[in-house]
Amino acid sequence: MAGPGPQYAAGTVTVLKGTVQWHSTGRGASQAVFPTDRINGQSVGIDGIYQFQLDPGTYVLAGRYTTGNAQTWMPVVVKAGVTSRVDLPNLCV
């Protein structure tokens, strides 16, 4: 019997400096506006691991899948001397 499939999809992870801002699009809806200061990025295979060395500050990890047009993201606060593990939500599994 085969085990469960991949836990993480292949794609690209990009580090953006700053925070996501929410702007009204009218009628009670809003849209995420991402920071434009790109710090770094990596391609990641299925179930792959990404790693970034970042200065202390506020960032957004943005993921784009290799296939399709789905995206995922996670806000991250980096503190000096602290190593963090951040899993981006996988919307494809």
Q: What is the pTM of this model?
A: 0.83
Q: Is residue 16 part of a domain?
A: yes
Report whether 76 contacts 61 (CB < 8 A): yes
Q: Is residue 33 part of a domain?
A: yes
Contacts (Cβ under 8 Å, ≥6 apart) of 32 = 20, 21, 22, 73
Report whether 66 contacts 47 (CB < 8 A): no
What is the pLDDT confidence band of residue 69, given thresholds at 50, 70 and 90?
A: confident
Q: Is residue 67 part of a domain?
A: yes
Instruction: Indicate the DSSP class of residue 91.
Output: T
Look at residues 51, 62, 57 and name the one whose alpha carbon lies nearest to residue 88. 62
Task: Say what the pLDDT of residue 1 is.
Answer: 46
**Looking at residues 74-91, what average pLDDT do you find?**
88
Domain count, the chain: 1
**Is residue 4's pLDDT more than 80?**
no
pLDDT, tens digit, 9 for 90 and up, residues 20-68: 999 998 888 999 899 999 999 999 998 888 999 999 999 999 999 888 7
Domain, as residue range, for 31:
11-78
